[in-house]
Chains A and B, each alone.
Chain A
Amino acid sequence: MTTATPNPEELTRIQAILAGHHDQFHDLIRPYERTVFAMALAMLKNEADAEEATQEAFLKAYRGLAAFRAESRFGTWLASIALNEARSILRRRNQFPTDSIDSSDDEQPGISPALLRDWREIPSESLERAEVRSILRAAIDNLPVLYREIFLLRDLEELSVNECASTLNITVSAAKVRLHRARMLLQKELAPQLKHLNPKRRWFPWS
């Protein structure tokens, strides 16, 4: 669970950058490169566009650093810049209107999960397998953009539900509903596929 408390080391670094030690910006953003890129890629589904969006987001963050308000976390601020950057690329591509046809999320009936009798845990080491990564990415890519956004903010960027709500400019209860649906859609799509992955699968039947 994340908190809204800013990281004191980051704040010191931000103050130093604003005081003229501009090169420290490189170190400030290093921990966020991967997640910002991942979020951009999940939104845009295209590596070149995602790299461009990530670079633009960090450049904007650098130019606008003086506007960063220390009452939020730097990561939350950055996530919101990155989300807006990805959204504006989507708009330019004119994909956004088509993608958001399913925006009237509040009237949708509840999503039933995939039902299983038991679940054998799939460890994070299984991410070393390209096959697993590709199954997971396809499921994220298939989420409607409305659900993809909240999933990425909450479960990838690890913003709190309140931070997600304010980033998306929606109420906390709407954020909870969207998040629930996003997570249920992922479970429904992925549980049946992942169930058959045996992490302890042996390469030789006789070993």
Chain B
Amino acid sequence: MVIDCKHVWDAISSYIDDSLAPETRELVQKHLDHCNICSAVLDSTRNILILTGDDRVFELPTGFSERLHARLDEQIRALRPSQDA
């Protein structure tokens, strides 16, 4: 059985997560081996997910961590006043 490009695009996300059924994966793999367009779709998606999933895309505001831990400290002290002793 041969599958066309559209079927491969529908399987890209599960292919990346390695969650395709073995027989589907084999069909997709065979297609990818000879189709430059689908290989480029796969490579670009994978690459884009690595970049967009990187938490450095979102910059932490200056002093973020200090403010967070200071607020946590307040909470800890408020709930456990005996800890201050």
Contact = CB atoms under 8 A, between A and B. Distances in A.
Interface of A: 1, 20, 22-23, 25-26, 29, 33-35, 37-38, 41-42, 47, 51, 54-55, 58-59, 62-63, 110, 112-119, 121-122, 124, 126-127, 132-133, 136-137, 139-140, 151, 155-156, 158, 161, 176, 179-180, 183-184, 186-187, 190-191, 194-195
Contacts of A133: 56-57, 59
B64 A37 contact: yes
Contacts of A127: 51, 54, 56-57
B47 A176 contact: no
Given A63-B75, A133-B57, A155-B49, A22 B44 contact: no
B19 A161 contact: yes
Main secondary structure on A side of the interface with B: helix
Contacts of A124: 50-51, 54
Nearest to B69: A26
B61 A47 contact: yes
Contacts, number: 152
Interface of B: 6, 9-10, 12-14, 16-19, 36-37, 39-41, 43-45, 47-61, 64-65, 67-69, 71-73, 75-76, 79-80, 83
B37 to A, nearest CB: 6
A42 B58 contact: yes
A174 to B, nearest CB: 13
B36 A117 contact: yes
Contacts of B67: 51, 55
A10 to B, nearest CB: 17
Contact of A126 (B10, B39, B44, B51): B51
Given A133-B57, A140-B52, A161-B19, A58 B72 contact: yes
Contacts of B49: 155, 183, 186
Nearest to B53: A155
A25 B76 contact: yes
A-B interface, 6 closest residue pairs, ranked by CB to CB distance from nearest: A180-B13, A155-B53, A38-B58, A119-B43, A116-B40, A38-B55
A59 to B, nearest CB: 5
Contacts of A132: 51
Contacts of A122: 47, 51
B19 A176 contact: yes
Contacts of A35: 55
A126 B12 CA distance: 24
B44 A114 contact: yes
Contacts of B80: 20, 22
A59 B36 contact: no
B47 to A, nearest CB: 6
A33 B36 CA distance: 40
